[in-house]
Amino acid sequence: MNNDHISLRQFLILTTVALLPQMIKLVPGQQANAAGRSGWLAGLAALVPMLIVLWLICRVGQALPEKSGLGELLCLCLGDKPGRLLCGVYGIWLVVLGCFELRFCGERFIATLYPNTGTGLVFVAILSMAWWLGQKQLVVTARAGQIFFYAVLVMVGSILLFTAGEIHLYNIWPVWTQQLPGLVRAGGGVLNALSLGIGLLFLFRQVTDRREGFRLAARWAVGVCLGLTALGIVVMGTFGAEMVARMQIPFFSLAKEVKLEEAVERVEPVVAAAWVFVDLILVSVLLRAAEGALSKAIGEEVRGMSSALALILLPGAYLIAGSVFALEQLYNSWGMMGKNLLFFGIPLLSVAVGKMRRVL
């Protein structure tokens, strides 16, 4: 474990891959619902607050010793016992999010490819690979994430390029100032989708070469927000805000519009199959982050804990909700509320307490 380190660039790429299912699931559907025709601007609306959050993380990180992450920050700001207790809460919450994401992956895969079958085989396949990755060092997961990142980047870019000709300008323009309150809410939805990155800071203690710090993180944030803006333009420009707001996963609906004659008749199943590997990275890093949080809570590193936690996800994914509709309702209410509280509220409160105690 002591030699298990990754670079800051690898960490950001791994975080991006882990956030892709969140972004595809929530963007731009929720943004269309919140802001209507102007929802495609949500990524840009989230850029400034996102940069502020990253700047704050980098400033706070400078006050922490080497090999420190979110767990060390909580213990420093709040004291050892309260901090370790909160780390336990975070560990449990990250496992719960893993159950959500595993269930979403199974339902999406089955709905796209095999509508009349169950999700059990998908669960077992992903958890088997996640269990295997849990036996390896974090750098192995990071390298796998890099491979999947470039593959998915090409795939998403190709779909946006092939469907750009279907954009209707009247679906995204003009944008009126009266839509500004909705756009602010839409930007908040983007931040919620990206908030999982805060939870992954439990892995930050294994990140080396932090010299570039905010500069590299800022470039990453700009790239993510511009990518979400491009996605919003193509999806909303193709379907219109009202239709996008009713779609379960607008990006997969967009993939249905792509037909490569004499090559692939339907691109959507190919995208869904490839997306399983992205979901694998998400589940793996959630388990890794949960391992880091729980290890900090008990005060001892337990190698391979993420592999054991993977076994919890199988019954958890089944039991977390009785139907897809109930799953969506639960996630959109309690899931998002928990993410805002644990990934924004508590870290900001902890930093404020740390400033008052003059430990930062």
Q: With helix as H, strand as E and coil as C, how does 96-115 read? A: HHHHHHHHHHHHHHHHHHCC
3-state secondary structure of 240: coil
Give the per-residue pLDDT at 1: 45
Residue that wins the pLDDT comparison between 207 and 267: 207
Kindly tell me if the per-residue pLDDT of 111 is higher than 90. Answer: no
Give the per-residue pLDDT at 267: 72
pLDDT over 70 percentage in the chain: 95
Give the per-residue pLDDT at 49: 93
The 10 Å Cβ neighbour count of residue 167 is: 15
Kindly tell me if the per-residue pLDDT of 345 is higher than 70. Answer: yes
The mean-pLDDT minimum among 196-210, 219-233, 296-310 falls in 296-310
Pair 228, 42: CB distance under 8 Å: yes
Give the per-residue pLDDT at 3: 64
Give the confidence band of 275 by pLDDT, cuts at 50, 70, 90. confident
Kindly tell me if the per-residue pLDDT of 310 is higher than 70. Answer: yes
Burial profile 24-61: b = 16 or more Cβ within 10 angstroms, e = fewer: bbbbbbbbbbbbbbbbbbbbbbbbeebbebbeebbebb
Whole-number Å distance between alpha carbons of 6 and 14: 10
Q: pLDDT tens, 147-204? A: 999 989 998 998 899 888 889 999 998 888 888 888 999 999 899 989 999 999 999 9
Pair 75, 206: CB distance under 8 Å: no
Whole-number Å distance between alpha carbons of 320 and 174: 42
3-state secondary structure of 263: coil
Cα 131 to Cα 6, 110, 244, 306, 312: the distances in Å are 20, 22, 36, 7, 11
- In this structure, the chain runs to a length of 360
Give the per-residue pLDDT at 37: 87
Q: pLDDT tens, 226-254? A: 999 999 999 999 999 889 988 888 888 88
pLDDT over 90 percentage in the chain: 50
What average pLDDT does this structure show over 130-151? 90
DSSP string, 19-70: HHHHHHHHTTHHHHHHHGGGGGGHHHHTHHHHHHHHHHHHHHHHHSPSS--H
Pick the closest to residue 134 from 15, 307, 352 (CA basis): 307
What average pLDDT does this structure show over 320-337? 90
Beta pairing class for 207-208 and 6-7? parallel
For residue 281, what are the contacts with CB-CB under 8 A and spacing of at least 6?
14, 17, 18, 141, 144, 145, 148
3-state secondary structure of 153: helix
What average pLDDT does this structure show over 101-127? 82
Whole-number Å distance between alpha carbons of 138 and 134: 8
Kindly tell me if the per-residue pLDDT of 266 is higher than 70. Answer: no
What average pLDDT does this structure show over 201-218? 85
Kindly tell me if the per-residue pLDDT of 13 is higher than 70. Answer: yes
